[in-house]
A and B are shown apart, each in its own frame.
Chain A
């Protein structure tokens, strides 16, 4: 599955539909599908929110090979983003000190088994791997 989406939160429903269709065809269970929708939403909304200078669509590509689900999200003509600079959230912080920043990335890292970022020629490519236990 491969498709480009406008940089607009209103694209989320189309993304869920395409993701769910692909995962259903691949006979992936509902629990995995739920969490993959969340991981994709978190990265997509980050790209829309923080790469504001770019007008290009965001490409989402999904494939399964050797029991691994691979999701690539590619954003063109954007500034670099270093996820290691995002502070780890502290889950046991009292409510007054809890901030929402970084939570989306924390959830993504909790859901997938591996996430890598590549940046070259102003293109950001994020690859997520989820091991499928069938």
Chain B
């Protein structure tokens, strides 16, 4: 199960497991963001390279407009995957 909830004007909440089977659901929301946004990982249990790819695409696209994503509330496993992927240099993580 995976879900993206818009929880505010500039905030989205990721819920569940973001794997290769759920990429389109993530892209439908993250790919449409037009301004800087906080992505809350508080209810995300799991992410794989497929999900990392969606986030990278969104960050690149927003970066061209001078905007960015800020990622918050990651569990320790997801934080470790971001570190392994070198994504801790690409995103602001809090």
List residues of A whose CB falls within 8 A of some B CB. Answer: 9-10, 12-13, 16, 31, 34-35, 37-38, 41-42, 45, 89-93, 95-96, 98, 100, 103-104, 106-107, 110-111
Contacts and interface: CB of A to CB of B under 8 A. Distances in A.
Interface string B16-32: 01011100000000000
A110 B59 CA distance: 24
A118 to B, nearest CB: 24
Majority SS of interface residues in chain A?
helix
Contacts of B63: 95-96
Interface residues of B, number: 22
Contacts of A111: 84
B77 interface: yes
Given A31-B77, A95-B63, A100-B49, A41 B20 contact: yes
A9 B63 CA distance: 30
B77 A35 contact: yes
